[in-house]
Every structure is written in structure tokens, then in C-alpha cells.
A and B are shown apart, each in its own frame.
Chain A
Amino acid sequence: MLEKLVPRGSTYAADIDLLFDVITYLVGFWFILVFGFFLYCLFRFRRKAGVKAQYITGETHKQKMAIEVPHYLILGCDVVILIMTFFVWHKVKIDMPTPDEEVRIVAQQWAWSFYHAGQDGILGTEDDIATVNELHIKAGTQYKFHLEATDVMHSFSVPIFRLKQDAIPGRIIYGHFNALDTVIGEWDIQCAEMCGYMHGGMGARLFVETPEQHAEWIAANTPDHLKTASIAATTTQESKEDAKNG
């Protein structure tokens, strides 16, 4: 159901959506049953002249079972939800797939800084690309993120990924995502934890790019003296082609 509201943008989004749907069906079933029974009672037992209410204690064995039995069924539903939850949670928050790329995310009042690994694909080297409020990632690539905060709590929330993680000052929190190529384009990143005056304006944009677009972006943002020969060559070639086509 969620995919109708927000597109699925990560490899684990479908799992979260499925769990959401399963809960919706189970809860929906019980809700309609109980709410319907409730309305039925209200209608059927409305006061009528000459009809006296019944004396029912709810303490006999049979009456107690009328309450108890549905609860074993509800407990069964709870167990189904729990088991599914454990799998989803493990996949999203506990499991850490081997990353192809890493990105460092730093939250502060009231902006996001992103440190992309740059053309060498290694974080913390000279060719890292730092941006403010713009995260550029390559679709179909397993990312590991390092989330930090410099002042207060923030929360890194990407609705299309179904991902959210608080950033805590003094700690580095790791997580992962892998964007689908169905969501190439520009998307919202929101801060999801109250962080003071401009919390309501602390957004960033997520650029999900094809490998070609991403390479171009890296090339455009890498100073010439840091470009390795091969990449420099490809970019010159590409720009020549562009010039030809243009």
C-alpha cells in the first residue's frame, strides 16, 4: 500500500512495505470484526419499551472463554507479525552487506554535509567530494553510511528508502542502503528529530543517478590535479562526444 504513496527506492523497501501490508490485513480483519460487533451491539440492544437488560456476570467459564479464545487468535497474529518484523529488522538495521561505496553524513543545526568517496571510491582521501544538502548516489550500488551529528540529535530520513536513523552527537552510527534504478531522480531527505529553530527547514536532496550520470558528477566535482589518468581520459572523450552531438 505504501508504494502507492511513496515510490520504493531501496532494496529493503519492498520488505518493509510487505510487512506494512501484512499488518494492515491482520489488523484490518480484527478491526472490522470488533468494530462491526460493537456497532451491532449498540444497534441491537438499544433501549426498547418493556425489554429488560439481561444479567450476565462474565464470570462463568463459558463467558470467560468467549473473551479468551479470540485472544489466542490475536496472539497468533502477533507471532506472525513478530517473526516477519524480526526478518525485516535484521535486514534493515542489523545486517551489514559488504559495501561497494561509503558515504559520510554529518548533521548539524540546520544542514546536512555529505562526504562522497570520490573517484577512488575510498572515503577519507583527498579526492572526497563534500557537499551541503545534496547527496549523490549511484543506483544499484551497496552503500554503507557513517552518520554523525556535531551538536544535537538529528535524524536522517529518506522516505523513498523507508530508512530512518537518528544521528547522535559523539557517536558514529553505521547503516546501509542500496538504491533501485527505478527511482533515478531527485528526492527528499528530511531531518526527523526536533533539532531546534530551523528543524522545519532542515531538508536535503537525494540524487539517485545511473552509473554514467554518477561518474559524470564525480568528474565534474573532482579538481583536475586529482583526476586519475583513466578517468580523465574517459571524461575528455565523453566531453568530446558531447561536443560532437551538441
Chain B
Amino acid sequence: MIKKLLSLKNIRLLYAAFFLVLFIVLVGITSFRSMKGYQVALFLELDPLVALSSFLTSWTVYKGLSLSLIIIVGTMIFGRFFCSWICPMGIINQIAGNIFNKLRAVDLIKMNAYRVLYRFKYYVLALLLVLAAFGTIQTGLLDPIPFITKAFAVSVYPAVNYWSGGFYLKQPVFQGGFLLAVIFIAVLFANRFINRFWCRSLCPLGALLGLLSFKPLLQIWRDTTKCNDCMKCVQNCHGACDPHASLRTSECMVCMNCISDCPENAMHYGLPKDTSSVHAPLDVNRRRLIETAVFGTIMFPMMRSVITSKTVSQHSVIRPPGSIAEGDFLRRCIKCGECMKVCPTNVIQPALLEAGFEGIWTPILLNKIGYCEYNCVLCSRVCPTGAIVPLTVEKKIGKPPAQKPVKIGIAFYDRGRCLPWSMHTECIVCEEVCPTSPKAIWFQDVEMQMRDGTTKVFKRPYMDPELCIGCGICENKCPVRDKPAVRVTSIGETRSLVNQMSLKS
């Protein structure tokens, strides 16, 4: 009885449930009140594709990303277990597939049989790695862990908060969050037509793990003397790896369903026996692979001959404090959305085209939504790839005169909209909220004759560009709400040598 319950399939189910819950909890606690030093980016650090692609762009295996070695070595021993045992994207896709597909056995067998379409993921991987080798990291678009982390941070948690109101005081809002939600739901809905469509045909991480597991130590084997070709093993197969014939090891997600489903006990996991069936080699077309690589080689210079935040400084591309120089930033940022989730003021937003196509969904600061909290360094603490390097509060706010603060931009007055400048009204909210000491915003008392002949004395604000750190609280709290009268642009940011205007800096 206990031995029956402790089948490999049930153990896999336990692991899957554990890792799915762990993922949801870890993304959920990525916030100021509950983070408390937990390794919230754990799943991203376990992801070998993050480690490999960021290694190709910048020749380092950054800190926690070395954890992915566990998965790499594990895959070479146990096969592509990550996909059905650990990967939250895979597990959620499988759950969606189970919900959508209540089919007759014969249709299940059709759905879970191998298709040539499933080669496609290897070409996706090849393209992403070629681009990475040239120096642009685009794996984050399709790598499942950054993708699902971002989908949860930007779409799922804000939606849950909308109904429950329980996580944050303010409803989080994200630029283009709905687009991500639609893509995420579309990916889940694709399971309605092909079970685990994403994992089998698109997922570049699955392809990478498939390559690593082309000959793992332990595999699933079919005993040719016991098998009577009933095909029951195909019915619930996660990877569509043809366990009834020559099993495709690179496709096999070691879900162990075939072992449980086999009425003849013909399947086992481990080392091969004399009677074990042969396994099929990796199914990729060399010609297509070369075409993909050539395509990437042609694409890359084209991607780099356009206007991006790297080629021309962009005023609206204000990066979180601690971000490395823009060129390196685009080599490291995998668009995972951790910084957007953790930001207490919701200022960090996924970019649309502000930073060019290359920088889509990378973090930028929209000061109309929030502002960079002066004493907060959380975004730099959660970044798994070092696109934002860890800061301490002391390092961020600096210790004048010896140590300068981290500047992310400079605020400029729009004197045509500023109330004291154009409407002769008392205001200077910007001065009140300016967090630096001494304040970057200062003012002059002005005496002015009004239209009706009376004189009025009021304060007019000025910006000191040397003291301004670009936090954007002035822009955020400006009473001219729709287009604030003081706005931050990225000029003067500490991380850039070129995006500077002042001789002194």
C-alpha cells in the first residue's frame, strides 16, 4: 500500500506542488514588509538559461546564478526533471492542460504524441544564444522563469489585489500590464489545443535542458519483452517523448506517468536492462539550425543600428538606482520584474518602447505613478543578474563631500506650468518633499504686482542640479497632476559617462 502511494509519479506530484507553492510565496513576499532577507529570486537563480545567456553577454556567472549549476548537473544525471518537478511555468501549464483536456484515451494519445513542431524550441534557443553571444540578452522574453515571474508581479498579483485589497495599501498599476496578462493567459489557453504547447514547442529553457539531457545517467526504459504495445504510456505523457516506441530522451520530462500507467510493469526508471528498448536521438534539423544562427548574425547588427537607450541617451529611460551603465544593463537585464514587484511606491514600470525594442519590459521609473524612496534600496537587492548591483542606504544617499549619492537623473522646472512661476501662486510642495539635506530645491521670495494692482509675495522654486538625485518625488507630488511642472529626465545619472551635462560632474 505505502509502496504503491510512494510511486515515482506521486513523489513528482509532491515536489511539483511544493515548488509551485514556493514560487508563489517567494514572488508574493517580494515586498518591503515581508522580504526579510529571504532568497526571493531563487527560481531565477536556479534557471540555467539565465546563467548561460548572461554568461555569454558578459563572461561572468554572477553570484546566485551559480545555483543553476545544481540544475545543470542534475539534468545530466536525472534527465529533464526541471520541467515537471520544479518549473512553475511547466507545472501551471500542466494544470491548465489537465483542466482543458478531458478527452477519450485515443484522443489523449494523439495529443501527447510527438510532433515535428516540437523541434521549434531548439531554434528559438539557438537564436537567443546567438544574440546573447553577440551581446544582447533577449532570453527574458521567452525564458519561462523570468516570464512567469514578470507575469505574476505585473499582472497576477495586482489583479488579486484588486479583488482582495489585501497585499498593498495602494492598488499597484503597471504600464502595459494587461498585455502581459493577455500573453500569459494565451499561453495557458494554448493547452486547450496542444497539451503543454509552450513547454514542448517554444520554451528555450526546455530546449537547453533537452540538450543537456540527451544522454542522462538515469532514464526511463521500456522492457521490450513485457510491452504489448497498448500505448497507455502515451496517454498522460508530459513531454510527448514517445515512450511507447524509441523514447526521445531530450523531450522526456521524467514525469513518471508512463511508469504508473503501464499495466504490464514494462517501464522503469534507472539504468538500462538487456531487454530495454533503444532511445531516439535529438530531433533537430541541422540546416534549420544553421539558418537560425545566420538569421541571428544578420539580426544583431540591425538591432544595434537603431535608436535605443544605448545608442542615444533617452530622457525617459530612468533606471532604478544601482543600475549599471546602459550598455551593460541591456546585457544583464532579463526583464524578470522582481524590481517592479518589490518597489514600495510602484514607480518601477515595464518599459514599452522607451528603450527601443531591445529594452522592452526592462525597468524604468515613471514618476507620475510613484517616486524613488530616498532610503530604499530594495530593487537592487532582488535583482538576480546584477543589472542593478546591490546598494546600501549609505551608498545610495552618499556622504558628502567625500562620497557622492547615486543620481538617477535630474529634475527640471517647466516654468510655463509651475504655479509660482506662471500663475503667481504660493506652492513649493516640491521643496517640502525634497528628501536630500540640504534640499536640492531652493526658493526665492518674489514680490509681484498682480492684475488687480495688489502686490503679492510668494516663493519661487529653483533646482540645484548638483544636489538633485532624480528621485522624482517632486514630480510625483506636484499639484499639476496631468503633466507635472517639475519633471525628471535621465541626464546626469551616475552610471553614465556620456549622459552628462555639467562640467563639474
Q: Do A and B bind each other?
A: no
Question: Which residues of A are interface residues toward B (Cβ below 8 A)?
Answer: none
Question: Which residues of B are interface residues toward A (Cβ below 8 A)?
Answer: none
